[in-house]
Amino acid sequence: MVSAVQVGKSFGALQVLKGIDFDVELGEVVCLIGPSGSGKSTLLRCINHLEKIDSGALYVDGDLVGYQRKGDRLYELKEREISVRRSNIGMVFQRFNLFAHMTALQNVIEAPILVQKRPRKEVVEEAVALLDRVGLGSRLDAYPAQLSGGQQQRVAIARALAMKPKLMLFDEPTSALDPELVGEVLDVMRSLAADGMTMIVVTHEMRFAEEVADKVVFMDGGMVVEEGPPRLIFGAPSHERTRAFLSRII
């Protein structure tokens, strides 16, 4: 589903990704961990076409990100073609980013109707089912300001799912939440994982990673330092930098 081959990315003189190799299989849940500034968000943003890479190659669902192959030539994608590709990827951020002037239901139906041009009736039915699934079936008409942070984040997840994405990216989805609201969001993510959704999750919730991830990837300084099954990374990390990070966070 995702393959990064020696991906490099700089902002001016600052090299943020220094040759990332990274793979996510269909149906896999990969947790991305690492200290602040290590390049985790930038990697997700590259995967989601929000940043362009400078070197290496990045594939999502078999397509080279940002390019289209015609015969043996590569063409840079136009903005409109990029949004089509991007609509296959759901992204949930630390801040809920809901439209404040729209109800929960309106937030969820907006993009499928406007971007995917799908029939309103069908989209509304699916959106109601999705909001029900994230435990908000009784709050369809609530505005974001009337919802708790955990509820808003669950609307954000439903909104991403309404696009029927093949891949879900989560960038610290619970970091901005009050501690007592973290669990309800993780529960929704757990059930998504159990349904076979391919997910990349940047998180500091190590217990969640241990329980749900097929693979944990530890990044530091723009590089993948080590990766492996959670039991190995948490139980017997082979790099000193991983050990130091884990001892600070757990």
CA 122 to chain centre: 26
* CB contact at 8 A, 160 and 152: no
Q: Which is nearer to ligand ADP, 106 or 174 (CB)?
A: 174
CA pair distance 142, 136, nearest whole angstrom: 10
Q: Which is nearer to Mg ion, 41 or 198 (CB)?
A: 41
Min dist CB 41 to ligand ADP, Å, is: 3
- Helices and strands in the chain, H and E counts: 9, 12
* CB contact at 8 A, 92 and 121: no
Min dist CB 170 to Mg ion, Å, is: 11
Q: Which is nearer to ligand ADP, 16 or 92 (CB)?
A: 16
Q: Is 203 in the site for Mg ion (CB under 5 A)?
A: no
Min dist CB 220 to ligand ADP, Å, is: 9
Question: Which one of Mg ion, ligand ADP, none is in contact with 16 (Cβ closer than 5 to 8 A by kind)?
Answer: ligand ADP
Q: Which is nearer to ligand ADP, 162 or 168 (CB)?
A: 168
Q: Which is nearer to ligand ADP, 110 or 226 (CB)?
A: 226
Min dist CB 28 to ligand ADP, Å, is: 21
Residue 223's SS3 state is strand
> For residue 158, what are its two tokens?
């439903």
What element of type H or E holds 131? helix 120-133
Question: Which one of Mg ion, ligand ADP, none is in contact with 153 (Cβ closer than 5 to 8 A by kind)?
Answer: none
Q: How many residues make contact with Mg ion (CB under 5 A)?
A: 1
What are the residues binding ligand ADP (CB under 6 A)? 11, 14, 16, 34, 36-42
Min dist CB 2 to Mg ion, Å, is: 17
Q: Which is nearer to Mg ion, 135 or 149 (CB)?
A: 149
N-to-C CA span, the chain: 30
Tell me the backbone φ, ψ of residue 134, rounded to 5 degrees: -90, 10
Q: Is 41 in the site for Mg ion (CB under 5 A)?
A: yes
Q: Which is nearer to ligand ADP, 27 or 37 (CB)?
A: 37
CA 164 to chain centre: 14
Min dist CB 64 to ligand ADP, Å, is: 22
> For residue 194, what are its two tokens?
């159990």
Contacts of 76 (CB under 8 A, 6+ apart): 66, 67
Q: What is the 8-class DSSP label of residue 229?
A: -
Q: Is 42 in the site for Mg ion (CB under 5 A)?
A: no
Question: Which one of Mg ion, ligand ADP, none is in contact with 42 (Cβ closer than 5 to 8 A by kind)?
Answer: ligand ADP
CA pair distance 136, 213, nearest whole angstrom: 26
Residues of this chain that interact with Mg ion (CB under 5 A) are: 41
